[in-house]
Amino acid sequence: MAPQSVICKVIHNREIARGIFDMSFACPGMAELARPGQFVHIACGEGNLLRRPISIADILPGALRVIYEVKGEGTRYLSQLKEGDPVDVLGPLGRGFDLSRASGNAILIGGGIGVFPLLPVAKLLGKRAYVALGFRSASAAVLTEEFSAVSAGVHIATDDGSMGYHGFVTDMAEMLSGVNPTILYACGPKPMLKNVKLLAEKFGVPAEISMEERMGCGIGACLVCACKTRKNGEEGFSHVCKDGPVFDASEVIFE
């Protein structure tokens, strides 16, 4: 189905951790089309020319929810939107997670602001979803209760040891081998995703990973959001907005 370009109405927009905002907006048609792992491309005021790609954190009846970190002018504009304000959204865009590949249990691995697109995955997989989340520290840990409520269980790792496992989230996820995962679903910083790819090889299961890159049009026309991949033996640049953001980890070339 074709994506839509719609002026939506903000339902709520609030800060849930330092610099992290949780926003929902009404978009009946778009919400019906949206799949876990897809993203929306949001216009951020007249002064910022480019839209900002933000992954979908929840698919609600007639609405979508996104969670984003204020990083620059564009996201600062978004953070100032209030209930009832118009927000210009293009979506749903991209290739999401293929949940039909989870023939049994799945391990979901999220790092930092990469945990958000995994929430709709956890909701759909329910008790088959074992969730491993990594954060800088306890103060940056968000959404842990929501993940707990819908999944088979949540394990937390922090860089500084202030909460849960002290170390890499992928090292912690490796200790979950006993759940016999049939696939890994992951989103987070590139070094983490590289480790997820290695972990999947160790487990002998596939992994689907969500990539990020600076984006232009969001629909596959401008070719700026390049991601190095190997497909059918041929190396080249795929595009995060249309070929992704979710890729099979075996296709992605990390430098």
Partner 1 sequence: MKMSVNIAGVELKNPVVTGSGTFGFGEEYGEFYDLSELGGIGIKGLTLKKRDGNPPPRIAETPLGILNSVGLQNPGVDYYLEHDLPKLRQHDVKIIANIAGNTVEEYCEMAEKVSAGCDLIELNISCPNVKEGGVAFGTSCNMVEHITREVKKHAAVPLVVKLSPNVTDIAEIARAAEAAGADALSLINTLLGMRIDIKTRRPVLHNNVGGMSGPAVKPVAVRMVWQVANAVKVPVIGMGGIQTAEDAIEFLLAGATAVSVGTANFRDPYAALKVVRGIEAYMRENGIEDVAELTGGVRPY
Where does this chain bind partner 1 (CB under 8 A)? 2-3, 5, 43, 47-51, 90, 213-228, 236-237, 242
* SS3 track for 27-60: CHHHHHHCCCCCEEEECCCCCCCCCEEEEEEEEE
139: nearest Cα among 17, 16, 14, 19: 17
DSSP state of 254: P
Residue 54: phi and psi, rounded to 5, are -135, 130
Q: Which residues pair with 240 in a beta bridge?
A: none
- Nearest distance from C-beta of residue 111 to partner 1, angstroms: 20
Token reading at 183 = 């696939």
Q: Could you tell me the smallest distance in angstroms from the CB atom of residue 7 to partner 1?
A: 11
Cβ 102 to partner 1 shortest distance, Å: 29
In the bound state with partner 1, the residue whose beta carbon lies nearer, of 131 and 227, is 227
Residues 6+ apart with CB under 8 A from 118: 108, 109, 110, 131, 147, 185, 186, 187
User: Using DSSP, how many helices (H) and how many strands (E) does the chain show?
Assistant: 6, 15
Residue among 183 and 246 whose Cβ is closer to partner 1: 246
Give the whole-angstrom CA distance, residue 112 versus residue 114: 5
Cβ closer to partner 1: 22 or 243?
A: 243
Residue 223 C-beta: closest distance to partner 1, Å: 5
Is the CB of 48 or the CB of 144 nearer to partner 1? 48
Which residue's CB is nearer to partner 1, number 167 or number 236?
236
CB of 151 to partner 1, least distance (A): 33
Minimum separation from the CB atom of position 5 to partner 1 (A): 6
Count, residues in the chain: 255
Q: Of 153 and 191, which CB lies nearer to partner 1 in the complex structure? A: 191
